[in-house]
Structure 1
């Protein structure tokens, strides 16, 4: 398999008839409109590129691989529709082989639409839905026998590391191979120094490979994020076809109402922040350097966890969390305004499937989030049914991780919605939207007395702060940084005093674009 990056020299044109321009991906259109409250262009835009088909690609399959496009993308090759992907945050691929013409220039079009529609999530949320192809685009050229390129955007390999009796490590490797007849998968586990720890070979499409390591070093969060590397080679009739190199870690996680969150058998209070993926004047088209700066900020404030809201984030950021030892709450945009249509339900399940399959091997991911503020527009019966279906899917795809859902602070503690996932989060805004900071302590005391049956996290809490607003007499609602600082001092003391709360997440790490907001004299931004 060969992967060719094709980010450069795309012809871009808006659907409003504006002149075409040449752009380099990643790319977002109308960034300023999305962050200043004016809205910018919403609708279809077209990215077009000419690709000359190499002789080396003869008799091989050619895939177009798009890291993410917001939010619906239709791929057209030489005027022929290939397929449509619905969802603006996950990687997707289309096999374009039969539409490519050898020895000729081939026209690839990606028609991207960021319009709100009731069959694609999110339908409504408190952040800007930027339009564009905002992650890398590649051509992938592969033989017919390969680690699957059609497995919901995954790498085609799923690693299950666990500690057995006596502290011995067992690694099971499940591989998805296209045309597996005559194929073998040769697996090796390497430690951080590149030394061989274990190896095994199995027939493709049969039982998983099993490898054993004596006394493996654990991935232990911020205390030490040790990772091993799986090297997986695919052979067909003895001929080498391709290789995958995937990092993973040994760790155990558990969540209970009595003991809270446990990492490797030790209770760990998780304290962190939520994170959106956008940057001022770049929207979602952020760089690795931007992500590294975000990670540096997370480390600087002492976070040991991050909630990657409200959608699938870039693969590199999950890798950073693996490396730095942050426990990740990863989620899908089943948020705020929901639809009971069959198409919308199918889309939520697809986005959850892609999130889990594409990020299955990251040791940092401890929680799959299946929803946020799902009762904002009412708690209809079908919402419970939808959440149960998604929780069941998450448990089927990945029984080893913890499922969670974030609810509004107004959700009754005995609501059936609170008992679906392994744990729940409440988005609580005492001291900002309602009441005073001290009301948070009263609310938590009441929850503790009512003995809520599932473990409780504070999945959001926070107050707006605009850096230019300073005062010696801070009060709730003045938007000053002074009040924001006072708020966090009080909230931190309250949360520390309540062992009921196994995790808490400040909203948010940084300001982010929210096109419909106008608060504190600032438009298009959540402060």
Structure 2
């Protein structure tokens, strides 16, 4: 009875107040409030402390407000600081805004595209809204509070007519909230997505749900639109008109309608039929546009939504079909996390990241493990990337009623807010729900019961899409698509076992999709062995790029020979911060990405490109490998990853032969050579590929070392000027004879003092003050401070070894070395 009652409340809420506080506002009248904010990372007694005036002779009790720009995350640095636990607690924001609503008797709303994790909103000291959950969009109507404040003396005397806004965000630990703190990612705090000021007339759009479908052959498309209006007060129905236009992807108007009578707060259109629609596809993502214009007493407000026509099918014990044709889902995963900003990515940063994913050749992405920015979904629509999006019910077990209520609400919000995106094909109910720890009791039957409730709720809210989970064997019969845990060559067995493990996974469930596979790699670390990782490579392996390219290579060539495979998504596209991995080579960073946390590609990125990308590419493995080692005259393997039909390799200008690409000729699809390097000198490698008569090439230079080295006893620090204000610092471990220790993985720590900024806490191999060596080396950058006449002193240590000390940024802009006694 409780579940049925909840469904009724959800449906009632959509038509009434729920849609007003939890919808993405489909208005074109939005103003991003990025500038003019101040922030303090601590709690305060109340909102009054954020707005009270500073009196002469009586300094403010909390003076440490800092100016920030939104989006802003208050864990931008400490999430990867090797010396601290990341901050979990309250943080306060304040600003003042001009409010000038162009609509007579209109409404003023603040829209939050996402804020972590509990948020309270104030107009001056008036509490106007609360939200729980860090990943869905929500809004607060501040109309009455703004009008009331404008009438006060404080408004004119202290704020010159502007409206003070105060916001408290809190990411404190709370086991009765999702996601769990046991999740392998940070529960960030702050206004880390955009905050918008929205103006609407007295009646406007609350939410627009578009249901579009087509037959498997794409001959006939049908559309139904459900429109919810937002009208806190009664509206003049005789003076209100609604105009509707649908445009094809080529901009041609294919449908129009006007409604001027019998407008209701909830309206559902008749079925609209479109013959031979332009289909949305991963290679041709055709998007239709639905435009609505509401005219109220001569004032208009517009809403624009996009949608697409596509037919999807997950066949039982078989592959995935898009628009009637088999499509192998070639996928990855994404967290909202980036060097220097944590979760506070700008739209420009999101665009670049998604373009990188598309250039890699991916056609599928799992958004782990929470609802992500609507900007990401828009980009997936535009780029042709299919999506599995999920709620953050991740690890820890199952809490009480408050816990369940939040999970239901987050699922409801995710489905309704992202319903119109044609890129979404799966709604995720959870991840690793077989992982106990947050509660004294771990009851599998209770988890099964709640999983079934979420599955049923998902199908009620959106009958057109399937549900999915990853790794919870005792729930796999409940949902539609299941992914078991298969980490061949990393957490279990060796990667040549992958086919067998995947086949066992497919045989054990009705619809199988392989989410999460791969392994960690430390950028810049390379080894000379071709070790295949028997056993637990996560624990016993070298975490080198040399190993991980072979693991990925093997999986990708195997996936081409699985006619029953729906698809697979490797974990993960980009390195990201996690509080659960302090001992990693880069502390607090999950290093399973094919790009670093700042987006710099690792070698493995190009392995995927060579299999997936349709754009011609060629890449010699080893761009981040300046030195190779071995015996004199020993043949060394050179790998070239390319999708060209044939490739010729040159060493020091001499051809090493031509190889033809064959995806089943492991490794590197047959594009490999055994060559003899010149000892000690620079060896120039050049690969030339041919694709459809066009020539593509890549070049690198590597030295070759034959000297043997002993234990590290010296740590040498050098500096290279990158530009007038930035210096690259390199630390290198050497033995007693001064020979570089090329296999050393010792930790190296950087420190500095004076007129400079150590570019640390980025969570990258070259942006951490404590990092494991890559082939006996580590680096970091230093930026000049404000005082041009004062130096910056920097040194490094590794265990008990101390480096020489460098003095940077002298008055003449030079660099001098000062030895440490």
Partner of 1:211: 272
Deviations 1:203-238 (A, max 9, x none): 44343254333321100122x11111111112347x
CA distance in 1, matches of 2:288, 2:336: 28
For the residue of structure 2 that corresponds to 1:277, the secondary structure is coil
Task: List gaps (5 residues or longer) in structure 1.
Answer: 149-155
- CA deviations 1:73-99 (Å, max 9, x no partner) are 111222122221111111110112222
Question: What corresponds to 1:518 in structure 2?
Answer: 582
CA contact (8 A) 1:55 1:102 kept: no
Aligned partners of 2:225 and 2:268 also within 8 Å:
no
Residue 171 (1) aligns with residue 223 (2)? yes
Label 1:24 to 1:288 Cα distance change in 2 as closer, same or farther (>3 A). same
The number of residues matched between the two structures is 510
Following superposition of structure 1 onto structure 2, how do residues 230-269 of structure 1 map, counting pairs within 5 Å? 230-236=290-296, 239-269=298-328
CA displacement, residues 237-266 of structure 1 (integer Å, 9 cap, x when unaligned): 7x4531111111111112121442211121
Supply the distance in 2 between the matched residues of 1:118 and 1:146 (Cα, whole angstroms).
38
State how far apart, in whole Å, the 2-side matches of 1:444 and 1:11 are. 51
User: Aligned to 2:500, which of 439, 442, 450?
Assistant: 442
Structure with greater contact order relative to length (CA < 8 Å, sep ≥ 6): 1
Tell me the alpha carbon deviations over residues 110-167 of structure 1, each in whole angstroms, 9 at most, x when there is no partner.
Answer: 100011212321122101222110111112222231111xxxxxxx101112236992
What secondary structure sits across from 1:493 in the alignment?
Answer: helix
Which residue number in structure 2 is paired with residue 151 of structure 1?
none
Aligned to 2:127: 81
Q: Which residue of structure 2 aligns with residue 455 of structure 1? A: 511
Give the alignment's TM-score, normalised by structure 1. 0.91
- Taking the aligned partners of 1:99 and 1:403, their CA distance within structure 2 comes to 41
Residues 198, 259 of structure 1: alpha-carbon distance in 2 compared, 3 angstrom cutoff: farther
Aligned pairs for 1:85-104 (under 5 A) are: 85-100=131-146, 101-102=149-150, 104=155
1:508 aligns with 2:572: yes
- Paired residue for 1:359, among 415, 418, 442? 418
Alignment check: 8 A CA contact 1:28 1:282 kept:
yes
1:294-313 to structure 2, matched below 5 A, reads 294-313=353-372
Could you tell me how far 1:427 is from its partner in structure 2?
A: 3.0
- Do the aligned residues in 1 keep the contact of 2:218 with 2:311 (CA within 8 Å)? no
Q: Deviations over 1:308-353 (max 9, x none)?
A: 1111111111111111111111111110113321001011111111
CA-to-aligned-CA distance 1:396-440 (integer Å, 9 cap, x gap):
1111112111115xx3xxx3x101111111232231122211333
CA drift of 1:106 comes to 2.9
Q: Is the 8 A contact 1:457 1:502 kept in 2?
A: yes
Partner of 1:220: 281
Q: What do residues 376-414 of structure 1 show as CA deviations (whole Å, max 9, x unaligned)?
A: 115621111111111111111111112111115xx3xxx
Given that 1:10 and 1:49 are in contact with CA atoms closer than 8 Å, whether structure 2 keeps it comes out as yes
Q: Is the 8 A contact 1:199 1:211 kept in 2?
A: no
The answer for the alignment partner of 2:256 in structure 1 is: 199
Q: Contact (CA 8 Å) 1:54, 1:102: kept in 2 or not?
A: no
Residue-by-residue CA offset, 1:478-526 (whole Å, 9 max, x unaligned): 1111111111122223333333431211100011111221344321100
Alpha-carbon contact 1:465-1:484 (below 8 Å) kept: yes
Alpha-carbon contact 1:254-1:402 (below 8 Å) kept = no
1:50 aligns with 2:96: yes
The residue that corresponds to 2:9 in the other structure is none
In the other structure, the counterpart of 1:496 is 560
**Cα separation, partners in 2 of 1:171 and 1:185, compared to 1, 3 Å:** farther
Shift of the alpha carbon at 1:457? 1.0
The 5 A counterparts of 1:381-396 are 381-396=445-460
Residues 235, 432 of structure 1: CA spacing in aligned structure 2 closer, same or farther, 3 A cutoff?
same
Equivalents in 1 of 2:503, 2:86: separation in Å?
A: 45
Q: Which residue of 2 aligns with 1:314?
A: 373
Matches within 5 A, 1:402-421: 402-407=466-471, 411=473, 415=474, 417-421=475-479
Q: Give 1:191 shift.
A: 1.8
1:25 corresponds to? 70
CA distance in 1, matches of 2:98, 2:352: 38
Give the Cα–Cα distance (whole angstroms) in 1 for the partners of residues 583 and 512 of structure 2: 30
Larger radius of gyration: 2
Question: How much does 1:199 deviate?
Answer: 1.5
Is residue 2:77 matched to residue 1:41?
no
For 1:61, the equivalent position in structure 2 comes to: 107
Distance in 2 (CA, whole Å) between partners of 1:366 and 1:85 is 28
Q: Do the aligned partners of residues 126 and 210 (structure 1) sit closer, same or farther apart at CA in structure 2, a change above 3 Å counting?
A: same
CA 1:357/1:213 → structure 2, altered by over 3 Å: closer, same or farther?
same
Q: Which moved more, 1:181-190 or 1:479-488?
A: 181-190
| Matched-pair contact (CA < 8 Å) for 1:90–1:312 | yes
Secondary structure (helix, strand or coil) at the match of 1:374 reads strand
TM-score of the pair, normalised by structure 2: 0.60
Q: CA offset at residue 453 of structure 1?
A: 4.3
User: Match for 1:111 among 157, 168, 173?
Assistant: 168
Aligned partners of 1:232, 1:305: CA distance in 2, in Å? Answer: 31
- How much does 1:30 deviate? 3.3
Closer, same or farther: CA 214–498 of 1 in aligned 2, 3 Å: closer
3-state SS of 1:186 partner: strand
Provide the C-alpha distance between the structure 2 equivalents of 1:166 and 1:78, rounded to a whole number of angstroms: 55
Deviation of the 1:56 alpha carbon: 4.7
**Aligned with residue 129 of structure 1, among 187, 192, 195:** 187
Decide whether aligned partners of structure 1 residues 437 and 177 sit closer, same or farther in structure 2, where only a CA change above 3 A counts.
Answer: same
RMSD, matched Cα: 2.2
* 8 A contact 1:200–1:210 mirrored in 2: no
Could you tell me how far apart the structure 2 residues matched to 1:90 and 1:406 are?
21
Inter-partner Cα distance in structure 2 for 1:231 and 1:207: 15
* Aligned-partner Cα distance in 2 for 1:483–1:279: 25
